[in-house]
């Protein structure tokens, strides 16, 4: 399993260094924000709630990311996709970048062809890294200016800014909702459930439904844990609904109006 | 002059960002040195050229997401990635739960804490599951089987469905136009990538909301 060069001891040392670096950075910012939160008078309950809710919420998507690592491991071994999906990478980006890198290295089998040449492997690592690095160059230069501009506008007209921020969030969510309602699936790989259809609609409707139930429940019971768990639970329950539909009525689950 | 919390976040963020940049660039360099090979510039150049559109996406993402993620949240999110499917939903959910607004110092604190927690859990969960999958291939086959694969295929919709329930109920007046517009666009151009749909959705939604604000409807 770990005998080939792509998953040797050195590669494992690299991923270990990446994990330590990423967690250290997150802990650094969390401790600074926590301290500032206390100074601002935010209750410990609210701060803890933010941690608990995010931690539970992150579990299922993280498993999804780990599954992507496995998908890419056929060609690239375990460690390089693992590194790439731990830093900067996103599921949609890494798979595309890996395919582009494999093709530029002369492999036409896409992510199902194993890379056996260390030079090719190194070139792929460079392509995947350089392709995603631009935001890290831009952010130190422009972020402060962007945020200053936003905060100047916010201080001049806070009601308008509130409406605009809400609208930006809604536009973002609307893009995904629209995709689930009317987005076309992949033409090159006929995957069940990647185009808008019964499964995407079931995922959307059931997660909305569960979230509304939790919101109503919280209004009645007024418990902090409901706030923290509402979103992760709605998500997981909606995933269960998708699994059940697919298991018990596969012919209905396979219906896609945009395939 | 006393530094504000924001000034400090930008100083820390810049240091971490530059350190991340150097560290991430050193990874392929170290791999090459370890195997004793030199990458061919033409192969790397060709690979990058074919994914050059990611550079455009990168610029749009920085400009569009940073006001929503907050300063600390932006520095953290762009180092670890998976912004749309993880960091942004975490930030939105945490602000809703804590009843704080984006672009306030309270919002800044809450998003930073939420995104940090998400990063630590995600990193550890990926590590545990990759090791489990590697040690026991049948486990990874189960996760990719016909039983579980459809659920992971739809995970993004379950995230944004849950968020929609909160946001659309609260801001239903300004929600109708962007959802209708995006769905209509997709009816005619169904294979538009999500990376294109997001900026389009955000711009349309903000335009619609601005018009309603001017007409005193919101």
Question: B39-93: per-residue pLDDT in tens?
Answer: 999 989 988 888 877 787 788 888 888 888 999 999 999 999 888 888 999 999 9
Residue from the list B63, B148, B192 with its beta carbon closest to the beta carbon of A243: B148
Whether pLDDT at B99 is above 70: yes
How would residue A1 be classed by pLDDT, with cut points 50, 70 and 90?
Answer: very low
The per-residue pLDDT for A189 is: 55
B1 vs A50 pLDDT, higher one: A50
Whether pLDDT at A3 is above 60: no
Cα first-last separation, chain A:
37
Under a CB-based contact definition with an 8 Å cutoff, are residues B8 and B112 in contact? Answer: no
Q: Is the dihedral of CA B129, B133, B139, B141 positive or negative?
A: positive
Residues of B in contact with A111 (CB under 8 A): none
pLDDT digit string (tens) for A62-78?
Answer: 988 888 888 788 888 99
DSSP state of A257: S
User: Residue B216: how many CB atoms within 10 A of its CB?
Assistant: 6
B139 has a chain A CB within 8 A of its CB: no
Q: What are phi and psi of A197, to 5 degrees?
A: -170, -160
A254 Cβ neighbours under 8 A, 6+ residues apart: A192, A197, A198
ipTM of the complex: 0.86
The per-residue pLDDT for A190 is: 55
User: If DSSP codes are grouped into helix, strand and coil, which group holds residue B40?
Assistant: coil
What is the DSSP code string of A145-189? Answer: HHHHHHHHHHHH-HHHHHHHHHHHHHHHHHHHHHHHHH----SSS
Q: Do A127 and B47 touch (CB under 8 A)?
A: yes
pLDDT digit string (tens) for B155-168?
Answer: 889 989 999 998 88
How would residue B150 be classed by pLDDT, with cut points 50, 70 and 90?
Answer: confident
B82 has a chain A CB within 8 A of its CB: yes
- Give, for A130, the enclosing helix (H) or strand (E): helix A118-132
Q: Write a three-state SS string for B35-71.
A: HCCCCCHHHHHHHHHHCCHHHHHHHHHHHHHHHHHCH
Q: Do A19 and B125 touch (CB under 8 A)?
A: no
pLDDT-wise least confident of A6-15, A67-76, B68-77, B198-207: A67-76
Q: Do B129 and A174 touch (CB under 8 A)?
A: no
> Is A54 exposed, middle or buried (CB count within 10 Å of its CB: 0-12, 13-18, 19+)?
buried
Q: Is the dihedral of CA A43, A61, A19, B91 positive or negative?
A: negative
A29 token code pair: 């910012």
Chain A contact probe: residue of B157, B180, B182 with most A CBs at under 10 A:
B157
A173 Cβ neighbours under 8 A, 6+ residues apart: B160, B163, B164, B167, B168
Rounded average pLDDT over A141-155 = 87
Chain B contact probe: residue of A10, A18, A122, A255 with most B CBs at under 10 A:
A122
User: If DSSP codes are grouped into helix, strand and coil, which group holds residue B39?
Assistant: coil
The per-residue pLDDT for B145 is: 84
């Amino acid at each position: 399993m770990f005998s080939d060069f792509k998953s040797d001891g050195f590669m494992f040392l690299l991923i270990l260094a990446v994990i330590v670096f990423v967690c250290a950075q997150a802990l650094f910012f969390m401790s600074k924000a926590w301290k500032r939160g206390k100074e601002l008078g935010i209750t410990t309950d609210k701060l803890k709630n933010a941690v608990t809710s995010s931690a539970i919420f992150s579990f299922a998507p993280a498993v999804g990311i780990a599954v992507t690592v496995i998908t890419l491991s056929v060609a690239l071994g375990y460690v390089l996709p693992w590194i790439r999906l731990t830093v900067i990478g996103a599921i949609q980006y890494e798979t595309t970048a890996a395919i582009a890198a494999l093709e530029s290295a002369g492999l036409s089998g896409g992510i199902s062809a194993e890379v056996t040449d260390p030079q090719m492997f190194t070139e792929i690592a460079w392509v995947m890294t350089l392709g995603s690095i631009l935001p890290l160059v831009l952010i130190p230069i422009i972020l402060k200016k962007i945020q200053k501009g936003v905060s100047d506008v916010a201080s001049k007209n806070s009601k308008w800014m509130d409406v605009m921020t809400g609208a930006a969030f809604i536009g973002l969510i609307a893009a995904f909702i629209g995709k689930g309602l009317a987005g076309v699936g992949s033409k090159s790989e006929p995957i069940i459930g990647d185009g808008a259809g019964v499964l995407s609609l079931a995922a959307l409707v059931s997660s909305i439904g569960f979230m509304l139930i939790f919101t109503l429940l919280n209004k009645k019971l007024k418990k902090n844990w409901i706030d923290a768990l509402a979103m992760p639970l709605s998500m997981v329950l909606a995933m269960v609904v998708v699994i059940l539909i697919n298991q018990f009525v596969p012919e209905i689950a396979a219906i896609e109006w945009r395939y | 002059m006393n530094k504000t919390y924001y000034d400090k976040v930008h100083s820390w963020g810049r240091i971490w960002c530059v350190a991340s940049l150097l560290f991430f660039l050193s990874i392929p360099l170290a791999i090459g040195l370890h195997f004793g090979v030199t990458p061919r510039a033409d192969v790397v150049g060709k690979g990058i050229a074919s994914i050059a559109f990611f550079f455009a996406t990168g610029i749009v993402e920085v400009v569009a997401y940073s006001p929503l993620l907050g300063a600390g949240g932006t520095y953290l999110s762009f180092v670890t990635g998976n912004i749309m499917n993880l960091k942004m939903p975490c930030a939105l959910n945490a602000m809703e739960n804590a009843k704080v607004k984006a672009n306030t110092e309270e919002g800044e604190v809450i998003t930073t804490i939420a995104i940090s927690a998400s990063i630590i859990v995600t990193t550890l969960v990926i590590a545990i599951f990759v090791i489990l999958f590697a040690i026991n291939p049948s486990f990874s086959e189960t996760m990719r089987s016909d039983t579980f694969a459809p659920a992971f295929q739809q995970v993004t919709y379950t995230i944004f469905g849950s968020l929609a329930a909160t946001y659309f109920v609260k801001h239903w007046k300004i929600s109708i136009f962007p959802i209708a517009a995006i769905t209509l666009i997709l009816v005619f151009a169904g294979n538009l990538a999500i990376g294109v749909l997001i900026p389009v959705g955000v711009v349309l939604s903000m335009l619609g909301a601005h018009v309603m604000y001017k007409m005193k409807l919101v």
